Amino acid sequence: MKPVVLLTGAAHGIGRATALELARRGYPIGIIDRDAGPLEELAGVLRGSGAAVSSAVVDVADKPALAAAVAQIEAALGSIEVLLACAGIGSLTIAPQLETCVLRQTLEVNVVGVAQSIDAVLPGMIARGRGHLIGIASMAGYRGFPWMISYSASKAALIAYLEALRPGLAKRGVTITTVCPGFVRTRMCADIPYQRPVKMIAPEAAALHLVRAVERRPRNCVFPWDMKIGLAILKYMPDFAFDRLMRYVGPRALHVDF
C-alpha cells in the first residue's frame, strides 16, 4: 500500500502536476487549495483515473479549517504519512515601495501556512513514529533577490524553519525535505517581467522530482541539475560579489528598476 499524501496548493502549477503524477503512481492523495473551481476540476480528473482522492477547499492561513480538512481527508483515505506543502504566493516587490501588507500576506501563506499545515498532520505522525514533511523553498530564500523582497524573506524563513525543526522531529521518526526548484513554468513565474527568455522547466518535470523526493526522503531536493550548481555559487558567493551582481546585472535582467 502506498502512503497517503496530503498536497496543499494542488489546484495549479507544480501542485497540480504533482497530484496527477502521484495519482498515476497509485498514491492516495488529499488535495487542498483555496481555489475551489480548479481544485474540484482536478479532483474529478483524479477520480476519473481511478485514484483515491479527497479534496478540501481551504486557505492554509486558516488553522481551524486546515484541521477540519485533515480530519476529513484522514477519514476518507487513512492516516496522512506525507505532507507536500506546495501552497505559496510570490509577487514582485522592489525598494523603496516596501508594501508591508504584501510582506505580511506572503509570510502568512509561505511560512505560517506551511507551519500550520505541518501542525495539522504532525500529532498523528508522532503518534505513529513516522512521517515525512516536504516544504517548497526557493533560490530566493538562500540570498535576497531585490525584485522579490517579501518573497525572498518568506522563503528564507521557511528554509530556517524546516532546518530548525529537523533534529527534534528526526528522533520522533519524522523526516523533513527542503525543496529548491529552479524556474518552473507556472503563473508565479509568468508574472515576473524578465527581459530575456529564462530557461524554465515544465510543471510536469518538477512533479517527477517531487515524487522522487516522496519516495527517497532526501534532506534537500534541488532541481534541475544546473540549479544545484547555481545554488552552490549563489550560497558561497562573497557578499561584495553578490551585491555587485544584484546592483549591475539584476536591473538588466528585468523590466523593473530597483
Ligand X SMILES: NC(=O)c1ccc[n+]([C@@H]2O[C@H](COP(=O)([O-])OP(=O)(O)OC[C@H]3O[C@@H](n4cnc5c(N)ncnc54)[C@H](OP(=O)(O)O)[C@@H]3O)[C@@H](O)[C@H]2O)c1
List active site positions: 151
Q: What length does the chain have?
A: 258
Rule CB under 6 A: say whether 120 interacts with ligand X. no
Rule CB under 6 A: say whether 113 interacts with ligand X. yes
CB of 112 to ligand X, least distance (A): 9
Out of 28, 157, 181, 209, the residue judged to bind ligand X by CB under 6 A = 181
Q: Would you say 81 or 154 has its CB closer to ligand X?
A: 154
Size of the site for ligand X (CB under 6 A): 29
Rule CB under 6 A: say whether 90 interacts with ligand X. yes
Rule CB under 6 A: say whether 186 interacts with ligand X. yes
CB of 211 to ligand X, least distance (A): 15
Rule CB under 6 A: say whether 61 interacts with ligand X. yes
Q: Would you say 11 or 82 has its CB closer to ligand X?
A: 11
Out of 82, 83, 87, 162, the residue judged to bind ligand X by CB under 6 A = 87
Instruction: Choose the stretch contacting ligand X; rule: CB under 6 A; options: 32-40, 74-82, 217-225, 238-246.
Output: 32-40
- Residues making contact with ligand X (CB under 6 A): 8-9, 11-15, 33-35, 59-61, 86-90, 109, 113, 136, 138, 181, 183-184, 186-189
